[in-house]
Amino acid sequence: MNQRSHCLAALTVVAVCIASSCSRTNDEAEVNASVQRLIAAVNAKDINGIMAYYSPDESLLVFDALPPRQYVGATAYRKDWEGFLTAYPGAVHAEMSDWRAETEGNLAYGHGIFRTTGQDKDGKPLDLTLRVTDVYRKINGKWLVIHEHVSWPVDLATGKADLSSRP
C-alpha cells in the first residue's frame, strides 16, 4: 500500500468510529426522550402514553416492588399501572432523577430514581421513591422497554421498605 492508500484507510476508520459514536449518542438521546415522555404520561395519567414506553406484547417482563412482584406481558402490566393511577384520584406528580442510559446496537439499559407524589382517596399524602432499571430493545426503529426492575431499598434493622430515602 502506498501512503495515499494508508491515509484513505485511516480516514475511513475514523469516519466509521465517528458515525458509530454519533449513532450511539442519538440512540441514548432517544432513550432519554422516551423517559421524559413516560414521566409526562404519568403526570397526565395517560395510560396509553405510559404503555407506549413498553413492548406491546408478551415479551415484556417486569419485576415490581409490590405483589405479585412479576408481570409477564403488556396486558398484565397495564393493569398494574391502572391500579397505580387509581391510587392517586387527584393529580400525581412524577419525576425521574439520576437517570443514566447506555446503548449498544439494538439493546440499551437505563437506571434512575423514580418519585411520585400526590394524595390518596382520603387526602393522605403519598410520596414514593423507587429505584428503576430498564432494558430496552430497538423495535421497528423505536426504543421500547422489554424488562423493568422496580425496587425499594430495605431497612435491614426493621426489614421494612424504605419508601422515601433519596440517594
**What pLDDT is recorded for position 60?**
99
E strand segments, the chain: 61-63, 70-72, 92-104, 107-119, 125-139, 142-151, 154-155, 160-161
What's the domain range around 57? 3-161
Domain assignment present for 58: yes
1: which residues sit within 8 A by CB, 6+ positions away? 9
Instruction: Tell whether 56 is covered by a domain.
Output: yes
CATH number, domain containing residue 73: 3.10.450.50
Q: Give SS3 for 159.
A: coil
Q: Please count the structural domains in the chain.
A: 1
Q: Is residue 108 domain-resident? A: yes
Inside any domain, residue 166: no
Could you tell me if residue 167 is inside a domain? Answer: no
For the segment 16-20, the average pLDDT, to the nearest whole number, is: 46
Q: What is the pLDDT of residues 92-144, one digit of tens each?
A: 999 999 999 999 999 999 999 999 999 999 999 999 999 999 999 999 999 99
Q: Does the residue 38 lie in any domain? A: yes
Q: Is residue 125 part of a domain?
A: yes
66 band by pLDDT with thresholds 50, 70 and 90: confident
